[in-house]
Amino acid sequence: MPFTFTGDFVVPRKPEEVFDFLVDAKRFCPLLPDYQSMSVTDDKHFVVNVSVGISHIRGTASIKMTLEEAERPRRALYSGKGSVAGGNVDMSAGFELAAVPGGTKVAWKGTAQIFGKLTSLAGGLLEPLAKKSVQKLIDGLQAALA
């Protein structure tokens, strides 16, 4: 069950500042909805743990993330694989940055594919919940970069 979300926003910071924020897992990850903890392996690899709850399924998702692409100050791309209560997830999150008058335009795209019994148990709840979580993250990014 794949999901794709896209959008953009403008923040009043230079592209270099926005880029530096987006590639710093210690600054970026606490903005994730239901963030619990993280452990950093190196500048490009970390594991993030978030609480998940869909219907009667509750638990912690542990996602191994990799910064696949980091082209300062234009682009950052993450990929991740992890386990979620009742299933597994593959995901990616990418950011394209462009200088605009008064700041930086951030165009973003996120994808997630969920596998396992979670998809059959949660049914149509997955996409609206994923969309809500993505919007919380984007709102948090905008606030942190404002």
Task: Report pLDDT digits (tens) over 58-81.
Answer: 778 899 999 999 999 999 999 999
The pLDDT value recorded for residue 55 is 62
Examine the pLDDT at 86 and tell me if it is beyond 90.
Answer: no
The pLDDT value recorded for residue 54 is 65
Examine the pLDDT at 90 and tell me if it is beyond 70.
Answer: yes
Query: What is the chain's mean pLDDT, rounded?
Result: 88
Three-class SS state of 136:
helix
Identify whether the C-beta of residue 61 lies closer than 8 Å to the C-beta of residue 90: no
Reading the block at residue 36, the tokens are 């619990």
Q: What is the mean pLDDT of residues 40-52?
A: 92
Residue 125 gets which letter from DSSP? G
Examine the pLDDT at 15 and tell me if it is beyond 80.
Answer: yes
Three-class SS state of 13:
coil
The pLDDT value recorded for residue 65 is 96
The pLDDT value recorded for residue 30 is 94
pLDDT band at 106 (very low <50, low <70, confident <90, very high): very high
What is the CATH architecture assignment of 2-145?
2-Layer Sandwich (3.30)
Contacts by 27-36 with C-beta closer than 8 Å and gap 24+? 27/144, 28/141, 31/137, 31/140, 31/141, 31/144, 32/137, 33/132, 33/133, 33/136, 33/137, 34/133, 36/60
Domain parsing of the chain, residue ranges:
2-145
